[in-house]
């Protein structure tokens, strides 16, 4: 697995990524589902790693 280009700490399980503010990393907006077992997900386009913050509420409600 490649090293992440950036690590972003988040407080929710579903993340939207469009490559960030750097235009050279831009890509179509994708929604990523957090792996709640290890608390992270990597964007398949730009390799940004999203990490669930400690104490973040993880729920299955609507």
Measured from the Cβ of residue 2, the count of other Cβ atoms closer than 10 Å reads: 6
The whole-number pLDDT of residue 31 equals 96
Round the average pLDDT of the chain to a whole number and report it. Answer: 84
Q: Answer whether residue 19 is part of any domain.
A: yes
Alpha-carbon torsion, ordered 15, 46, 29, 43, to 10 deg? -30
The pLDDT tens digits of the residues spanning 17-48 come to 998 776 665 789 999 999 878 899 999 988 89
Residue 38 included in any domain: yes
The answer to whether the Cα torsion of 24, 27, 29, 34 is positive or negative is negative
Q: What is the pLDDT of residue 59?
A: 66
Residue 2: predicted pLDDT: 64
Q: How many domains does the chain have?
A: 1
**Structural domain that includes position 36:** 6-52
The pLDDT, as a whole number, for residue 56 is: 77
Tell me the three state secondary structure of residue 23: helix
């Amino acid at each position: 697995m490649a090293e992440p280009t950036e690590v972003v700490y988040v407080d929710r399980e579903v993340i939207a990524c469009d490559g960030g503010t750097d235009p050279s990393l831009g890509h179509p907006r994708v929604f990523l589902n957090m792996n709640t077992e290890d608390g992270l997900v990597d964007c398949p386009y730009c390799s940004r790693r999203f990490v669930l913050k400690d104490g973040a509420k993880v729920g299955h409600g609507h």
